[in-house]
């Protein structure tokens, strides 16, 4: 596995990487490769800070389930019960070319659907629903100068992309969920995360921005010279255009993709999930809650799909994707593995059947569902079972 990832570094497909492998919730391997910054040849280190983008979604889902255990909501509550701005939903008609071409939603979207990306929302930048996504982009739905509350107000004036429960579509759902955490807890999103997750798990470098004292540890982000050829070498430094950058505090605390973290911090978080809600003598969630999170919540026949393709053999729980069949080169124990990743190439996964979990952090945009992450997983399975 070490040699396999080194090949991606040598071929200039990845600038650097950091990985942890867990067996029975014990660290059996930790490795870094390459550079956090190519120009200065600053190496990736254990405390290098990465943009974890959509790995944030799992954290947001855990935060929500803490409040579910507190009795703040039921999974089948209508979203509008807690966010009245999202009542009386209209849905964009199929093939509509005008944002006003809508019909009433067939049902009220629920918190369960929100957490499983099946409540009818879209993202904007993925252009899965061009008519709606253009408007989401035009109103800067996740603008850095906005707040989660202001984002929800904007969404209240716009239709859904599809009827609740109709399909899985990647969306602003986790950002709506972050606003719900604020509503249920009476705290800002970061205050709640610090109190219930980051503080108890000693995740000292996980936040929505990198303070000046830590700038020297922040990895440079890179984009491939040819984004359409994922296995072609060549990288350029990428400016932080998403969610307003990370070098100073901002108003928008994205529950869908705003966090930065280190491999060490996020390993503690993953070990908590492997431990069914407990790690290091600290309990964050009850075991039955964690099990529910990695149980399929989608209707029969609905699977995970991203623009122009389906993620094969994958369903979705409460903030986590769940594998229903192994990929090529993986053992049968890969079934029921639950996982998710980030757009710049951070990925984490847990295999209950194999007693195995692993994380790999890189800084390549786009890097989710890239061949390196599949090779990493396949080689980890082979190495640990050998």
- Interval 43-63: pLDDT, tens: 999 999 999 999 999 999 999
Whole-angstrom Cα distance, residue 5 to residue 375? Answer: 8
Please determine, for residue 280, whether its predicted confidence score (pLDDT) is greater than 80.
Answer: yes
Confidence of residue 310 (pLDDT cuts 50, 70, 90): low
Closest among 16, 231, 56 to 142, alpha carbons compared: 56
Identify the three-state secondary structure at position 28: strand
pLDDT of residue 205: 98
pLDDT of residue 305: 84
- Interval 127-178: pLDDT, tens: 788 899 999 999 999 988 899 999 999 999 999 999 999 999 999 999 999 9
Strands (E), the chain: 16-23, 26-37, 42-43, 50-51, 90-92, 102-104, 222-224, 235-237, 260-261, 278-279, 282-283, 305-306, 309-310, 314-316, 321-323, 338-342, 346-351, 356-362
Q: Check: CB of residue 193 under 8 Å from CB of residue 254.
A: no
Q: How many CB atoms lie within 10 A of CB 286?
A: 16
Least confident span in 124-128, 170-174, 311-315, 361-365: 124-128
Whole-angstrom Cα distance, residue 27 to residue 30? Answer: 7
CA distances from 75 to 61, 176, 226 (A): 12, 14, 43
Whole-angstrom Cα distance, residue 330 to residue 322? Answer: 15
Please determine, for residue 354, whether its predicted confidence score (pLDDT) is greater than 90.
Answer: yes
Task: Please give the average per-residue pLDDT across 229-248, as a whole number.
Answer: 88
- Interval 169-208: pLDDT, tens: 999 999 999 999 999 999 999 999 999 999 999 999 999 9
pLDDT of residue 309: 63
Task: Please give the average per-residue pLDDT across 273-297, as a whole number.
Answer: 98
How wide is the angle at C-alpha 264 spanned by C-alphas 258 and 267, nearest 5°? Answer: 80
Task: Please give the average per-residue pLDDT across 11-24, as a whole number.
Answer: 98
Task: Please give the average per-residue pLDDT across 259-263, as a whole number.
Answer: 98
Q: Check: CB of residue 297 under 8 Å from CB of residue 317.
A: yes
Whole-angstrom Cα distance, residue 303 to residue 310? Answer: 8
Torsion of CA 128, 179, 282, 319, to 10 degrees: -20
- The radius of gyration of the chain from alpha carbons, rounded to an integer in Å, stands at 20
Please determine, for residue 243, whether its predicted confidence score (pLDDT) is greater than 70.
Answer: no
Q: How much is the mean pLDDT over the chain?
A: 95
Whole-angstrom Cα distance, residue 314 to residue 302? Answer: 9
Confidence of residue 227 (pLDDT cuts 50, 70, 90): confident
Angle between helix 56-69 and 173-185 (nearest 10): 40
Task: Please give the average per-residue pLDDT across 14-34, as a whole number.
Answer: 98
pLDDT of residue 378: 95
pLDDT of residue 138: 92
Please determine, for residue 247, whether its predicted confidence score (pLDDT) is greater than 90.
Answer: yes
Q: Check: CB of residue 47 under 8 Å from CB of residue 219.
A: no
């Amino acid at each position: 596995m070490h040699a396999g990832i080194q090949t991606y570094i040598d071929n200039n497909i990845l600038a650097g990487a950091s990985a942890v492998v867990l067996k029975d919730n014990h660290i059996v391997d930790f490795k870094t490769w390459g550079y956090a910054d190519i120009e200065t040849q600053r190496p990736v280190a254990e405390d290098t800070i990465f943009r974890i983008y959509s790995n944030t979604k799992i954290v947001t889902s855990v935060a929500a389930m803490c409040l579910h255990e507190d009795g703040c909501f039921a999974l089948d509550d209508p979203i509008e019960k807690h966010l009245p701005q999202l009542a009386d939903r209209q849905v964009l008609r199929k093939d509509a070319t005008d944002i006003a071409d809508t019909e009433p939603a067939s049902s009220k979207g629920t918190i369960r659907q929100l957490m499983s990306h099946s409540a009818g929302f879209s993202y904007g930048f993925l252009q899965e629903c061009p008519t709606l996504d253009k408007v989401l982009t035009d109103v800067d739905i996740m603008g850095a100068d906005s707040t989660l509350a202001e984002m929800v107000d904007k969404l209240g004036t716009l239709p859904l992309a599809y009827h609740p429960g109709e399909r899985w579509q990647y969306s602003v759902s986790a950002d709506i969920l972050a606003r719900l955490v604020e509503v249920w807890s009476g705290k800002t999103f970061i205050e709640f995360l610090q109190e219930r997750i980051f503080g108890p798990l000693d995740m000292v470098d996980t936040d929505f921005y990198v303070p000046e004292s830590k700038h020297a540890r922040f990895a440079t982000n890179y984009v491939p010279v040819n984004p359409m050829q994922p296995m072609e070498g060549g990288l350029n430094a990428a400016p932080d255009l998403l969610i307003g950058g990370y070098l100073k505090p901002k108003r928008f605390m994205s529950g869908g993709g705003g966090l930065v973290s280190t491999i060490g911090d996020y390993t503690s978080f993953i070990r908590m999930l492997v431990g069914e809600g407990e790690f290091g003598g600290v309990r964050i969630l009850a075991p039955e809650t964690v099990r529910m999170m990695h149980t399929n919540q989608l209707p029969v026949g609905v699977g995970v799909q991203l623009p122009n393709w389906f993620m094969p053999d994958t369903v979705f729980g409460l903030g986590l994707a769940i594998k229903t069949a192994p990929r090529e080169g993986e053992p049968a124990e890969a079934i029921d593995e639950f996982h998710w990743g980030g757009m710049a190439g951070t990925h984490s996964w847990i295999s209950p059947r194999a007693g195995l979990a692993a994380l790999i952090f890189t800084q390549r945009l786009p890097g989710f569902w890239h061949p390196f992450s599949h090779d990493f997983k396949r080689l980890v399975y082979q190495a640990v079972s050998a």
